[in-house]
């Protein structure tokens, strides 16, 4: 059989051996290259050290002699010494340039860069210790012969190591085939032929008796043990299948019984859940009605006083007119009319504020607008109210912030916040600072409103949003501003308004969407 088909057949039948051969060749080649490189590097360092030693010998033995020849003005002697130095190994060119412009040379300049160049000053030492510079010796040593010797050495080392590696690899591969590969092939063939109906035939390897206690024998014993376990598992499986058939018959009956019980239980749970939902809805409605009743009672209480005063003043005016139709009633009528107008106007304001407590989304127009630009418009509209206190208002946020919401609601919210700071926080003082910080967090907008006023009384962080809660009722405040703002944020703007504790002034935080959901 030709060589190439035999190699192909061997590759197909013994892939593990071929991979082992390739690994041995690769590792051996790598080790050979590393060893060769290390040897060449050591040889190269040795050659360089030899050159350095030669240069030190020249420096120690020839520099003084050349200096004396130059001092004695003996050109022939200088040239003879240079020619003698040129005969040394690897020395290619020597040159002496004197202080008087004379030039002595021996050899030719090499036309390669693989050289080592040294320069030595030549001096004459007088007996009194003085030194007279005479010139400079330039010496060039070529490395071409060193490289050639190293190249020849590389070829010899690689050739010898390659032959040795190939022979060792072939010998190892042969031993591996006889001890391992052929037996692995036998086990693979047995595994391929192994089926459930052929588990009675054990695996046996044709090996000598003293090799039957190694790893291959352990693998054979394990495979035979696995075969016996499979036989036992098959017998157990048959018994289990029979038991399973009996159990399935019993389980079907149990499932039918449990199904009827679960259906009855689900019906009871569904009824209980419906009752809980109805109860929950009733509780929610009760809470809403209780809150609405409290709100109506508060509004009725607030409206009752101004309307009562107006009614009393009107009754008094009528009584005076009836008793003294010709008397001086002008002043009394004028004062009573003034009280009637003021209190009825106050009642109208309270009714208007009460109407705003219920957020009417249909009366507001939704559109896209720049919030930063809109805040500037709000501050411009409040400029007449800000003149007396004249606070500094800082807006910290992006240059442009476009949102999709209800601008009128934002106008009412910030107007209430700023007016509260003026009326409550900066009462009796001028100046003050209001900071409005805008920060985008994903699809949400967080607004921090702070002032450095007197702040809120203790325990008012949650109470401030309740209707008709105010500390300035005697000054005409209704206590509905923050309640209206809270309803606008939570109901119309789909956000959250919080009053946070602060050591200095008031701090309100709004969490709002950049785009409202439909």
The domain boundary, picked from 357, 389, 413, lies at 357
Closest Cα partner for 134 from 100, 95, 94?
100
Where is average pLDDT lowest: 188-202, 310-324, 425-439?
188-202
The gap from C-alpha 3 to its chain's centroid, in whole angstroms, comes to 60
pLDDT tens digit sequence for 346-361: 665 565 555 444 444 4
Instruction: Evaluate whether residue 185 is within a structural domain.
Output: no
**Other residues' Cβ atoms within 10 Å of the Cβ of residue 455:** 17
**Other residues' Cβ atoms within 10 Å of the Cβ of residue 57:** 11
β-sheet bridge partners, residue 131: 125
More confident residue, 29 or 374: 374
Where is average pLDDT lowest: 15-19, 44-48, 402-406?
15-19
- Nearest 10 degrees: CA dihedral of 105, 110, 111, 112? -140
Are residues 411 and 284 part of one domain? no
Rounded percentage of the chain residues whose pLDDT exceeds 90: 13
Predicted confidence at residue 355, as pLDDT, reads 46
Predicted confidence at residue 392, as pLDDT, reads 92
Residue 154: pLDDT above 70?
Answer: yes
What are the tokens at 163?
């032959």
Which of 60-74, 109-123, 148-162, 365-379: highest mean pLDDT? 365-379
- We report the CATH number of the domain holding residue 408 as 3.30.565.10
pLDDT tens digit sequence for 12-39: 555 666 676 677 778 877 887 787 778 7
Predicted confidence at residue 456, as pLDDT, reads 86
Predicted confidence at residue 452, as pLDDT, reads 92
Are residues 234 and 119 part of one domain? no
Are residues 87 and 19 part of one domain? yes
Instruction: Evaluate whether residue 430 is within a structural domain.
Output: yes
Phi and psi for 311 in degrees, rounded to 5? Answer: -65, -45
Given a contact cutoff of 8 angstroms between Cβ atoms, the answer to whether 298 and 468 are in contact is yes
More confident residue, 435 or 485: 435
> Can you give the residue range of the structural domain that contains 69?
8-167
* DSSP-derived 3-state class of residue 118: strand
Where is average pLDDT lowest: 149-158, 393-402, 488-497, 507-516?
149-158
Are residues 378 and 336 part of one domain? no
Predicted confidence at residue 1, as pLDDT, reads 47
Query: Angle at CA 264, nearest 5°, toward 262 and 269?
Result: 90
Sign of the torsion angle spanned by Cα atoms 29, 33, 39, 40: positive
What are the tokens at 27?
């590792």
pLDDT tens digit sequence for 381-402: 888 888 888 899 999 999 899 9
d(CA 471, CA 479): 8
Are residues 473 and 330 part of one domain? no
Predicted confidence at residue 368, as pLDDT, reads 92
Residue 118: pLDDT above 70?
Answer: yes
Instruction: Evaluate whether residue 92 is within a structural domain.
Output: yes
The 3-class SS string of 236-303 reads HHHHHHHHHHHHHHHHHHHHHHHHHHHHHHHHHHHHHHHHHHHHHHHHHHHHHHHHHHHHHHHHHHHH
**Other residues' Cβ atoms within 10 Å of the Cβ of residue 232:** 10
User: What is the Cβ-side half-sphere exposure of residue 515, based on CA atoms within 13 angstroms?
Assistant: 3
More confident residue, 181 or 165: 165
Are residues 55 and 122 part of one domain? yes
Task: Determine the average pLDDT of the residues in 303-319.
Answer: 71
Predicted confidence at residue 508, as pLDDT, reads 95
β-sheet bridge partners, residue 198: none
pLDDT tens digit sequence for 458-495: 877 777 887 777 766 656 566 778 888 888 888 889 89
Instruction: Evaluate whether residue 205 is within a structural domain.
Output: no
d(CA 74, CA 81): 11
Are residues 282 and 241 part of one domain? yes
Tokens 């036989």 -> residue: 231
pLDDT tens digit sequence for 66-92: 777 777 777 788 787 788 877 777 777
Instruction: Evaluate whether residue 284 is within a structural domain.
Output: yes
Residue 362: pLDDT above 50?
Answer: no
Are residues 350 and 373 part of one domain? no
Residue 438: pLDDT above 80?
Answer: yes
More confident residue, 184 or 149: 149
Instruction: Evaluate whether residue 277 is within a structural domain.
Output: yes
Predicted confidence at residue 369, as pLDDT, reads 93
Q: How confident is the model at residue 291 (pLDDT cuts 50, 70, 90)?
A: low
d(CA 257, CA 263): 10
Q: How confident is the model at residue 290 (pLDDT cuts 50, 70, 90)?
A: very low
Given a contact cutoff of 8 angstroms between Cβ atoms, the answer to whether 109 and 93 are in contact is yes
Task: Determine the average pLDDT of the residues in 365-376.
Answer: 91
Sequence-distant contacts of 114-121: CB under 8 A, at least 24 apart? 114/142, 114/143, 114/144, 114/147, 115/140, 115/141, 115/142, 115/143, 116/51, 116/140, 116/141, 116/143, 117/141, 118/55, 120/59, 120/63
- Residue 202 DSSP label: P
Closest Cα partner for 355 from 479, 491, 478, 484?
484
d(CA 441, CA 450): 20
The gap from C-alpha 350 to its chain's centroid, in whole angstroms, comes to 55
Are residues 509 and 378 part of one domain? yes
Instruction: Evaluate whether residue 272 is within a structural domain.
Output: yes
Which uninterrupted H or E stretch holds 120? Answer: strand 115-125
Predicted confidence at residue 441, as pLDDT, reads 92
Are residues 426 and 331 part of one domain? no
Residue 2: pLDDT above 60?
Answer: no
The domain boundary, picked from 302, 329, 357, lies at 357
- Residue 205 DSSP label: -
Instruction: Evaluate whether residue 201 is within a structural domain.
Output: no
More confident residue, 120 or 370: 370
* Mean pLDDT (the chain, rounded): 76
Are residues 340 and 222 part of one domain? yes
The domain boundary, picked from 309, 325, 357, lies at 357
Where is average pLDDT lowest: 32-41, 246-255, 259-268, 407-416?
32-41
Give the total number of structural domains in the chain.
3
Collect all residues with Cβ–Cβ distance below 8 Å to 394 and sequence separation of at least 6. Answer: 433, 434, 435, 436
Where is average pLDDT lowest: 6-15, 337-346, 419-428?
6-15
Predicted confidence at residue 391, as pLDDT, reads 92
Predicted confidence at residue 396, as pLDDT, reads 94
Are residues 149 and 13 part of one domain? yes
pLDDT tens digit sequence for 48-72: 787 777 777 777 777 777 777 777 7
Residue 285: pLDDT above 50?
Answer: no
Query: Exposed, middle or buried by CB within 10 Å (0-12, 13-18, 19+), for 417?
Result: buried
pTM exceeding 0.75: no
């Amino acid at each position: 059989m030709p060589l190439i088909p035999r190699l192909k057949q061997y590759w197909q039948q013994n892939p593990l051996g071929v991979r082992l051969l390739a690994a041995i060749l690769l590792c051996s080649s790598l080790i050979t290259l590393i060893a060769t490189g290390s040897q060449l590097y050591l040889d190269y360092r040795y050659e360089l050290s030899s050159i350095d030693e030669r240069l030190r010998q020249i420096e120690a033995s020839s520099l003084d002699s050349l200096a004396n020849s130059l001092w004695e003005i003996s050109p022939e002697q200088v040239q003879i010494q240079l020619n003698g130095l040129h005969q040394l190994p690897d020395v290619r060119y020597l040159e002496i340039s004197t202080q008087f412009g004379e030039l002595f040379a021996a050899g030719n300049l090499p036309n390669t860069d693989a050289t080592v160049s040294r320069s030595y000053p030549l001096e004459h030492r007088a007996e009194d210790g003085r030194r007279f510079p005479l010139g400079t010796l330039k010496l060039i040593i070529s490395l071409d012969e060193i490289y050639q010797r190293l190249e020849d050495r590389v070829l010899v080392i690689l050739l010898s190591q390659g032959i040795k590696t190939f022979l060792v690899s072939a010998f190892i591969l042969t031993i591996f085939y006889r001890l391992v590969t052929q037996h692995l092939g036998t086990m693979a063939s047995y595994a391929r032929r192994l089926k459930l109906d052929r588990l009675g035939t054990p695996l046996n390897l044709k090996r000598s008796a003293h090799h039957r206690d190694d790893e291959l024998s352990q693998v054979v014993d394990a495979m035979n043990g696995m075969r016996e376990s499979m036989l036992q598992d098959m017998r157990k499986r048959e018994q289990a299948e029979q038991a399973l058939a009996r159990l399935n018959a019993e389980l079907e009956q149990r499932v039918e019984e449990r199904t009827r019980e679960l259906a009855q239980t689900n019906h009871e749970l569904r009824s209980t859940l419906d009752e809980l939902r109805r109860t929950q809805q009733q509780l929610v409605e009760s809470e809403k009605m209780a809150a609405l009743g409290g709100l109506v009672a508060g509004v009725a209480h607030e409206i009752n006083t101004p309307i009562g005063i107006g009614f009393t003043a009107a009754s008094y005016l009528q009584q005076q007119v009836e008793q003294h139709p010709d008397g001086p009633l002008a002043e009394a009528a004028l004062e009573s009319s003034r009280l009637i107008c003021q209190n009825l106007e106050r009642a109208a304001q309270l009714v208007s504020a009460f109407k705003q407590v219920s957020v009417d989304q249909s009366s507001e127009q939704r559109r896209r607008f720049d919030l930063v630009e809109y805040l500037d418009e709000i501050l411009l509209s409040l400029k007449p109210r800000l003149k007396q206190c004249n606070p500094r208002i800082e807006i910290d946020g992006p240059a442009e912030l476009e949102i999709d919401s209800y601008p009128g609601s934002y106008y009412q919210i910030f107007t209430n916040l700023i007016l509260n700071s003026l009326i409550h926080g900066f009462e009796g003082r001028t100046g003050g600072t209001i900071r409005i910080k805008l920060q985008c967090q994903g699809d949400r907008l967080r607004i921090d409103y702070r002032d450095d006023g007197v702040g809120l009384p203790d325990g008012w962080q949650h109470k401030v949003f309740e209707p008709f809660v105010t500390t300035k009722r005697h000054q005409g405040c209704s206590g509905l501003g923050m309640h209206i703002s809270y309803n606008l944020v939570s109901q119309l703007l789909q956000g959250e308004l919080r009053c946070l504790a602060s050591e200095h002034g008031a701090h309100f935080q709004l969490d709002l969407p950049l785009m409202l959901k439909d």
